[in-house]
Structure 1
Amino acid sequence: MRTPTALLAGLLLAGIALTAPAPATTPAAAQSLTWGVAPSSPDGPNGRPAFEYKLDPGATLTDYVAITNHSDRPITLDVYASDAFTTEQGGFDLLAATEEPVDVGSWITFETRTLTVPSTSRLDVPFSIAIPDNATPGDHPGGIVASLAATGTDDEGNQVSVDHRVGSRIYLRVTGELQPVLDIVDLSVTHDGSWHPLRGGAVTANFTVRNTGNVRLTGQPQLAVDGPLGLARRSAVGDQLPEILPGDSYRTSVRVDGVPPLVRLGVGLSVEPAAVTDEVLDPAPAAVTREVDLWAAPWPQLVILLLIGAGTWLVIAGRRRRRRRQAAQLEHAVAAAREAGRAEGAARAEDGTAVAAREPARTTD
């Protein structure tokens, strides 16, 4: 695993981290010492923001680096070149001093690695670049470092060695066929639903962009989400990718909000590669896309439908019970009326018989 520090995190990499070289103040272990590293000529710094070259395989070159001591006492520094890589945070960093370079850092040599720079003065130090005959075409990033090893203590009071480094970037391009290619790997997509039935949820794509070509690249990711037949399409543009060096990668994410849970969602992720500078790449890099399907169950809507269904069933069942009760009451009333009518008829019949028994018998002459 590549690490940006030799023995302890928190090194000074002002010249590496910034596009323009600047003096850097060391931590408390050497707080009175400051120095700077910048591209130079035999006569002093020439305003270049970085060491930039375009060379053929087998070519050689001599250049200069200015190492300036801003302190009021001499400083002894270790000067060397190393390979660069993209950090997890998307930064530009160099291999630790304990790691041997295998690329551009191994192609650069100094007459001596240890230099003593007098107080408030500058040394314009020559170095040589020798491109191997079999060097691969494309970008070979690195840096030239002036470091100072110091001893300090950690939070637990233990004595540790810290490598304070200041450097300047190297952007070397070996001539030949360029292959500006980015790839998307380790893609995972999730849907986080909202319990608000009208608000929709969020679809988040987490992925790694890998530079599989030979040119340092950046790019712009974009995420699109839609339902069946392209319904309710939503999209979002992610943050601009940092500079990704050849062979390195950067993990990031893009989120789309307000996505309706239409059961089955189609998700399309694309990254449009672009040159880090205003350079026109030939061939032009092609966009890379990935498409996946995603289940998005509409739980809030289903709950609402269940509640509506349950409420409707309760209303219908209540109406049926009332109708049955009303029918039973009506049937009971009809039966009671019939019984009352029968009783009244029987009573009238009994009254008629009694009247007939009381009338005297009539005779005829």
Structure 2
Amino acid sequence: MASPTPAARALLLAAASLLLAAAPATAQSDGEGTVTWSVRPADASGEDGRAWVEQELDPGEAATEYMAVHNLSDTEVVFRLSAADGFFQDNGRFSMLPSDEPSTDAGLWIEVQEEVAVGPDETAVVPFTTTVPDNATPGDHAAGIAASVLSEQAGEDGATVGVESRVGFRVMTRVTGALAPSASIEDVSSSYALSWNPLAPGRAQVTFTVVNTGNARLLVTGAATAAGREAAFPGPEEIDQELMPGDERRFTVTVDDVWPSVFVPATLNVTPVVAGEGEGTPVDTATADAGFWAVPWPQLIALAGIGLLIGSSLWGRRRSKARLEHLLEEAREEGRREAAEPV
């Protein structure tokens, strides 16, 4: 198959761009060789230990930060530098828009040089500037900045497919003004899984959507309570759940050891706090009813079985008593007949 035209190849490169990481990390891209690099926040002298950049700026204000691009490869590499709007994925991990999707918010506020050449095992410190528009809305805005390399891979049909591998970190900008953090709970649904062992409880699942209805980034936690049992979210093994203004995320919480009682009262409490600057600032708790029907079929079946056994036993005893009374009556009648006969 013939190789794609330059225009087609560029389209493939844009369409197949892949974000490997948006936090300090190391990535690899297979082209002519293996390229390994990391990107971290820095000051003018080098890496400064931050995981990402957080800044608070007035509308119209600008600030300069730095990124450290460390080439861990054994050859010089020219890295492409770019910024784009940032967002949190459904799993709670931070990412940034791919190269072929236009930014509409904070990704447009960042200016950085287009590329940088970094020698083997060397680090380049590159400045970038965030300029907040005069009409920017108060509150939190997310962007990501990254260094990338392009590689070409052949698909099964022989077509050349371009892959953009990016490594970067998030840039969180809070525009000064009235901060109004708030959250709501929507689309609550509950289900119950019976245990067919009548001596064992079942488990409940509560599914719901949390919506960040304010203008501040929120760290979302909470708990679901059903029949006196409670389950917190996120769990101890799960990452923190952050929501940008306007974000919504679907959660499912499992509450174990819940006994069925026809209707089980349940409550959902979401207790968000402000993340970033002013972290820990309390936000009004959002509460929703999550009660559900849980018919205790195993227990009812067991009770019905016990009732049948008791009824059968009582019926057997009653039948035995009636038979015994019948035999006694026959014996008395026989006695009376014998007594009436002449000697």
TM-score by length of 1: 0.79
Change (3 A) 1:70 1:300: closer
Change (3 A) 1:195 1:140: same
After the TM superposition, which residues 73-222 of structure 1 pair with which residues of structure 2 at under 5 Å, given as runs?
A: 73-110=75-112, 112-153=113-154, 159-222=160-223
Aligned to 1:261: 260
Alpha-carbon displacement from aligned partner over 1:183-219 (angstroms, at most 9, x marks no partner):
2223221122223333322122122323222222213
3-state secondary structure, aligned to 1:302:
helix
**Structure 1 residue 44: Cα displacement:** 4.2
3-state secondary structure, aligned to 1:308:
helix
Q: Which amino acid aligns with 1:332?
A: E
3-state secondary structure, aligned to 2:327:
helix
The answer as to whether partners of 1:209 and 1:251 remain within 8 angstroms in 2 is yes
Alpha-carbon displacement from aligned partner over 1:264-286 (angstroms, at most 9, x marks no partner):
2110010111233583565x311
Change (3 A) 1:205 1:309: same
- Partners of 1:268 and 1:154 lie apart in 2 by 52
Change (3 A) 1:260 1:114: same
The answer as to whether partners of 1:66 and 1:123 remain within 8 angstroms in 2 is yes
- Partners of 2:77 and 2:131 lie apart in 1 by 29
- Partners of 1:100 and 1:70 lie apart in 2 by 30
Aligned to 1:234: 229
Pair 1:298 & 2:296 matched: yes
3-state secondary structure, aligned to 1:36:
strand
The answer as to whether partners of 1:221 and 1:254 remain within 8 angstroms in 2 is no
After the TM superposition, which of the residue ranges 94-103 and 271-280 deviates more from structure 2?
Answer: 271-280
Which residues of structure 1 form unaligned runs of 5+? 227-232, 349-365
Aligned to 2:275: 276
**Structure 1 residue 47: Cα displacement:** 4.4
Q: Which amino acid aligns with 1:258?
A: D
Which of 1 and 2 has higher RCO (CA within 8 Å, sep 6+)? 2
Q: Pick from 56, 60, 63: which aligns with 2:62?
A: 60
Q: Pick from 17, 20, 24: which aligns with 1:12?
A: 20
Alpha-carbon displacement from aligned partner over 1:150-189 (angstroms, at most 9, x marks no partner):
1124688864321100112201110011122222223221
Percent identity between matched residues is 36
Change (3 A) 1:158 1:300: farther
After the TM superposition, which of the residue ranges 34-43 and 99-108 deviates more from structure 2?
Answer: 34-43
3-state secondary structure, aligned to 2:108:
helix
Larger radius of gyration: 1
- Partners of 1:303 and 1:9 lie apart in 2 by 58
Change (3 A) 1:156 1:257: farther
The answer as to whether partners of 2:217 and 2:276 remain within 8 angstroms in 1 is no
Change (3 A) 1:212 1:331: same
After the TM superposition, which of the residue ranges 236-245 and 143-152 deviates more from structure 2?
Answer: 236-245
**Structure 1 residue 27: Cα displacement:** 3.3
Change (3 A) 1:256 1:39: closer
3-state secondary structure, aligned to 1:58:
coil
Count of residue correspondences: 327
Which residues of structure 2 form unaligned runs of 5+? 1-12
Q: Pick from 37, 40, 47: which aligns with 1:35?
A: 37
Aligned to 2:338: 340
3-state secondary structure, aligned to 2:265:
strand
- Partners of 2:132 and 2:277 lie apart in 1 by 26
Change (3 A) 1:71 1:234: closer
Aligned to 1:351: none
**Structure 1 residue 67: Cα displacement:** 2.9
Change (3 A) 1:278 1:222: farther
The answer as to whether partners of 2:17 and 2:98 remain within 8 angstroms in 1 is no
